[in-house]
Structure 1
Amino acid sequence: MLSRIPAVTRCLSLAALCAASSVHALEFPLPPPGEDIVGQVQVIKAKYEDTFADLGTQYDLGYLEMIAANPGVDPWLPGAGKDIV
């Protein structure tokens, strides 16, 4: 009988853990395509010496975010006067 107590305790603990781990999530509608969700789109003109790493540090943006927002632009030499989103 004593050997059943740890097994029953484990089963009850597992059942309590499963019941407590149910998650309730909220769903929010997304805006139509083309509308911003958070923030605003900002376009800057790159200078000759700018890189995405420098611009990301200056404007608090991630390197991969800038690459995704500017396809086809060289991240290390975007070019003077190039519009960077």
Structure 2
Amino acid sequence: MRLKRTSLDEKATEVGNLAEVIEDGVNGMLVPPSDSEALAKALISSLEETTLNRLVVNAQKTKDRFSWDRLVTLICNGPGEPNG
């Protein structure tokens, strides 16, 4: 399967609550703040086709998980409902 590069492939610094959403190497890459070498390595690594494909697929799942539509469904139906 070949995926196009999209903005779903995320890189972020390990600040705030980003690590609660981005799992390093799973749906994005986390690098320490002000560490240009780690950022460069993450960028280069994410250009490898298998890595890029994994990141994009998992980032889309994360995007869906944190979507406004899902949040509204959870609020309206509750987390235990079939559509929640």
TM superposition score category, shorter chain reference:
under 0.3
Q: Which has the higher strand share?
A: 2
TM-score, normalization: structure 2? 0.25
Larger relative contact order (CA 8 Å, sep ≥ 6): 1
Q: Which has the higher helix share?
A: 2
TM-score, normalization: structure 1? 0.25
